[in-house]
């Protein structure tokens, strides 16, 4: 699979080239702004963001929420609003009941929801235009636009960990 050159505009107005001519790009497709499961995962990425950057990786995270719901989440990487799911369709990222019904996601749903209730994370909007049943996906793209690795989540908490991402970036096959 190959990613055609494009310039994405983040929710803060930054222009982001994909592929990046100088480094790997980790495209993450998340659910919606304030998603408790996404909050847990993205905080793990935030905690280790310096390691990710040092490994030559640029994070680009898509949400199927509008820009105004994404601006104030304090994430140190590119956040792209895609409420029409154009990029989700292009990359084959799906939605489905299994996103929440799979028992493997329940622990993250409970932990993320509890942290939202105590005010650690900003809660989601009551109505989600794009729905709540999105599945995550990850793509690692080289400077030439080749997708070196990808993962389509089977449930809401099924994405690469930071350790998995860093290991992929280190492999000889990727470089």
In contact, 126 and 8? CB cutoff 8 Å: no
Tokens of 84: 């029409």
Query: Which domains, and CATH codes, for the chain?
Result: 6-170 (3.40.30.10)
CA angle (119, 123, 128) in 5-degree steps = 175
Contacts of 157 (CB under 8 A, 6+ apart): 37, 40, 41, 104, 105, 107, 108, 109, 136
CA angle (85, 71, 150) in 5-degree steps = 45
What is the DSSP annotation of 82-102? -TT-HHHHHTT--B-THHHHS
Question: What is the chain's pLDDT, residue by residue, as a tens digit (175 residues)?
Answer: 899 999 999 999 999 999 999 999 999 999 877 777 778 888 899 999 999 999 999 999 999 888 888 877 678 999 999 998 999 999 989 876 666 666 666 666 666 666 565 666 665 555 656 655 678 999 999 999 999 999 998 887 889 999 999 999 988 545 5
- pTM value? 0.84
Q: Which helix (H) or strand (E) holds 60?
A: strand 57-63
- Output the pLDDT for position 116: 62
């Amino acid at each position: 699979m190959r990613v055609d050159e494009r310039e994405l505009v983040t929710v803060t107005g930054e222009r982001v080239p994909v592929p990046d001519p100088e480094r790997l790009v980790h495209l993450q497709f998340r659910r919606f702004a304030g998603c408790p499961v996404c909050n847990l995962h993205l905080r793990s990425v935030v905690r280790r963001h310096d390691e990710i950057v040092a490994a030559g990786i640029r994070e680009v995270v898509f949400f199927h929420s509008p820009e105004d719901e994404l601006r104030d989440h304090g994430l140190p990487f590119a956040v792209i609003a895609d409420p029409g799911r154009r990029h989700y369709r292009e990359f084959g990222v799906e939605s489905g009941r299994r996103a929440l019904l799979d028992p493997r996601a329940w622990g993250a749903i409970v932990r993320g929801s509890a942290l939202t209730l105590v005010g650690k994370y900003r809660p989601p909007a009551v109505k989600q235009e794009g729905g709540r049943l999105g599945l995550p996906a990850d793509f690692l793209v080289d400077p030439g636009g080749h997708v070196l690795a990808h993962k389509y989540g089977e449930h809401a908490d099924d994405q690469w960990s930071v350790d998995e991402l860093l290991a992929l970036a280190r492999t000889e096959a990727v470089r």
